[in-house]
A and B are shown apart, each in its own frame.
Chain A
């Protein structure tokens, strides 16, 4: 197969949100004209702050939400033409909170075996479960344990084992280590990198942590209020961020090194407003370099150097 493993083509999705008791309903544009293609074997990082649409984008890739406009393709097929059962054998998620995603009354072994049973996979399922547990670094004795007896890191390993036991080709990780302590985060990131190599996985890695994305993604899409504002390979984005928002995000990331002091992201105090329906650039109200036309004319994603940037003023 040569085409993308997963592709979003000009997808948009809005939600109608209640404005409170007497407020009128308002439209929240969660994702707007988003196009992303993830090549087989590639890891795409999706970064941005809360409300930027990154989680909505991955839910569309998982078939959990359908776009209002545009299409989602999995290995070249429109996602809605792929049966649910076939889809989950191709694309699997790992979510942020292993506390919420595991049924507390089932043992680890049963949780990992469940997908095999549901898909009528024959053969020695116990052996398959044990092999999977071994692959995610859990000792076989934990097959009889309940999620409540495990640490956060162990639970996330169980969630990963469950996602991979059907041998999917695409793994979608939505903030997989955000609920974990840093020492455990490193263990889980190492595991994901090992599994990616051993199982030749295509990966979408959503995170608010730029350092983590830099460490394991090949390419990155920076999102702001539902739009991709910059798409570039990792080296390019981290060396020469071109969108003012990418620059602000990178500048705001605090490294564990003293003496650097506090960064000044040079952003106005205005908060991002997902309800604003302005004709111009969504970032203009916070942008340090915005000009008049940025408020009246929406920029398109365009090639600048070897990146795609949605900014009138970005230059190679």
Chain B
């Protein structure tokens, strides 16, 4: 459904060109959940916005391939991709309070897009909206179409936003931190809903998150991003159980787990901070914080180890023993 090769996004800033995404490859199949995980500024949200054609106007984007539902849009105008929004692909955000218009009824917001884009009759659009609200777990949906967003709870607004994303019957759903603003008991319910919808509708789900717990709970595959690049990718199981990149290992170890981490002991923090992305980075961006760094980490490009199907680790010295005969040195930034 989604096939991205060598995606790069840069933003002009006062200090110079900020390289937010530095050559990202991602593939996402129908019915699959791919989580893009990383810390603030790693480029995960920029990647999602680039796919959706929602980058800030000043941003510059390039890609060798940007195929959505079988068609390559790498050379096409943003306007071409914008036509896919709501139809082929839809986005749900972290904060439903700001994503929903407070001055329009929920019914109006749900139906307006479908009426305009699909030339649907008002009645047909309302029928679809009621069915979707029911599907996402809003009780008595027909009675509630006339209500405004503030009349719903936070969890319900998130459900409404999911229903709104599904109004155009998309095949790709991009969820950017969909549960970060929610309480944990509500988060579990919303994630369960996303999982069910994905299964029932065969959606390809691209989940952008910083939360490794969310990733472990629902993702099939994981792409770990650091400083604008995917440094590790693989099945959720493989990445969590046998992380190959020292950054992945560091992220997992930094989180206290009740019953596993010894209480009151020092947590395995990653020293230092994320490097600035202005003016370009050569070699491994993590090397200044990496416990395994060595001189050749500065070499560019960083070699990619491809130990098994679908697994990629971009590191000179990956953690788990990986066959070296399949090392590729084509992880070049553009």
- Closest Cβ neighbor of A43 among chain B residues: B264
Q: Establish whether residues A254 and B183, one from each chain, have CB atoms under 8 Å apart when the complex forms.
A: no
A227-282 residues with Cβ-Cβ distance < 8 A to B are 234, 238, 248-249, 251-265, 267, 269, 271
Q: When A and B form their complex, what is the total count of cross-chain residue pairs whose Cβ atoms lie within 8 Å? A: 140
Q: How far is the CA of A234 from the CA of B192 in the complex (A)?
A: 29
Is B256 a contact partner of A211 (Cβ separation < 8 A)? yes
Near A by CB (< 8 A), chain B positions 254-278 give: 254-261, 263-264, 266-271, 273-274
Binds B, one of A65-73, A116-124, A179-187: A179-187
Closest Cβ of chain B to A100, distance in Å, is 17
Determine the residue in chain A with the shortest Cβ distance to B183. Answer: A49
| Alpha-carbon distance A262/B179, docked complex (angstroms) | 13
Interface residue range, chain B: 35 or more
Given A182-B39, A183-B251, A269-B189, A257 and B240 contact (CB-CB distance below 8 Å): yes
Given A186-B268, A212-B256, 9 extra CB contacts under 8 A? A49-B185, A182-B254, A183-B250, A215-B263, A252-B187, A254-B214, A256-B252, A256-B255, A258-B236
Chain A, interface size: which category? 35 or more
B164-207 CB contacts (< 8 Å) to partner A:
183-189, 191-192, 195
Is the beta-carbon distance between B183 and A238 smaller than 8 angstroms?
A: no
Interface residues of A in 18-42 (CB under 8 A from B): none
State whether B185 touches A190 (Cβ < 8 A). Answer: no
Contacts of A87 in B (CB 8 A): none
| B12, CB-defined interface residue at 8 Å | no
Please report the C-alpha to C-alpha distance between residue A85 and residue B295 in the assembled complex, in whole angstroms. 54
Assess the B210–A151 pair: CB atoms within 8 A: no
Sorted nearest first, the 9 A-B pairs with minimum C-beta distance are A254-B213, A271-B153, A49-B183, A186-B269, A256-B212, A183-B270, A181-B39, A186-B267, A215-B256
Q: Are A190 and B188 in contact (CB under 8 A)?
A: no
B179's closest neighbor in chain A, by CB?
A: A254
How far, in Å, is A259 (CB) from chain B's closest CB? 7
Kindly state whether residue B155 has any CB partner on chain A within 8 Å.
yes
Q: A190-B267, A214-B256, A256-B240 are in contact. Are A262 and B40 (CB under 8 A)?
A: no
* B218 touches A (CB below 8 Å): yes
Report the minimum CB–CB distance from B211 to chain A (whole Å).
7
Known: A255-B216, A258-B241, A269-B189. A215 touches B183 (CB 8 A): no
User: Would you call B301 an interface residue if the criterion is a C-beta within 8 Å of the partner chain's C-beta atoms?
Assistant: no
Task: Assess whether A186 is in contact with B270, with CB atoms less than 8 Å apart.
Answer: yes
Q: Which residues of B contact A49 (CB under 8 A)?
A: 183-186
> Is B268 in contact with A253, judged by CB distance below 8 angstroms?
no
Bound state CA distance, A214 and B262, in angstroms? Answer: 10
Task: Pick from A216, A258, A261: contact of B240, CB below 8 A.
Answer: A258
Output the nearest chain A residue to B247 by Cβ-Cβ distance.
A183
Query: Could you tell me which residues of chain A, from 153 to 200, have a CB within 8 Å of some CB in chain B?
Result: 153-154, 181-187, 189-190, 193
Expressed in whole angstroms, the minimum distance between the Cβ of A253 and any Cβ of chain B is 6
Instruction: Mark B151-163 against chain A: 1 for CB-CB distance below 8 A, else 0.
Output: 0011110000000
A124, B84: Cα distance in complex, Å: 65
Residues in A with CB closer than 8 Å to B16 are none
**Residues of A contacting B260 with CB < 8 Å?**
255
Contact indicator B267/A254 (Cβ below 8 Å): no
Whether, in the assembled complex, B237 has its beta carbon less than 8 Å from a beta carbon of chain A, the answer is yes
With the chains together, A182 CA to B271 CA distance in Å?
Answer: 12
Tell me whether A269 and B261 are in contact in the complex, defined as CB-CB below 8 angstroms, given that A208-B184, A256-B240 are known contacts: no
